[in-house]
Amino acid sequence: MDKRVKHQTETRIAAERLFDAGFGVSYIATNLSISRYTIRDWQTSYRQGRLLGLGAMSGNNRYSHTLKVAAVEKFLAGKAKADVLAEFGITSRAVLNNWVAAYRADGVLGLVDKPKGRKPRGKDPSSQSLEERIYHLEMENAVLKKFHALMDEQKALNKKRGQ
């Protein structure tokens, strides 16, 4: 499936030439009549060598815990976000923003990868404590007693109806 491209390759080449010439995001955005935010994203791609799609592919990249911590700490130390993205090869500003938020909320532990998928349910009896196991068995016993009492009542009603 092809990735949707909103801007022509010629426009991207023009932006790359202006980046090479040393112009900033605001000037390029005005000159090409494109949003500053788009040009800012292109600048990140340009610094990573993938503005024209010739460099490394972006997508679902997995980053190590140490890379995340190093990138966030460099950003919090005052380095520009665009420089951090280029230095560590991070494909999106949103990724770095999420890491910074997690770091600010939970520290280094906020950047640890979370397990994917559903949490396993505690169906294994060996994983339950003795008190949990006794509680579940007592509940099961109470339900079975009620079930048998209802069945006995049903049998008694059927006998009355049959006579």
What number of CA atoms fall less than 13 Å from residue 11's CA on the CB side? 15
Helix, strand, coil % (nearest 5) of the chain? Answer: 65, 0, 35
Per-residue pLDDT tens over the stretch 93-106: 888 999 999 999 99
Alpha helices in 22-122 (DSSP H): 25-32, 36-47, 65-76, 81-88, 93-106
Per-residue pLDDT tens over the stretch 31-40: 888 888 888 7
Q: pLDDT averaged over the chain? A: 81
What percent of the chain is predicted at pLDDT more than 90? 25
> Hey, where are the domains in the chain?
1-57, 59-112, 125-154
pTM (whole model) above 0.85:
no
For 1-57, the fitting CATH number among 2.60.40, 1.10.10, 1.10.8, 1.10.287 is 1.10.10
Per-residue pLDDT tens over the stretch 53-85: 655 555 567 888 899 999 999 999 999 888 888
Instruction: Answer whether 69's CB lies under 8 Å from 108's CB.
Output: yes
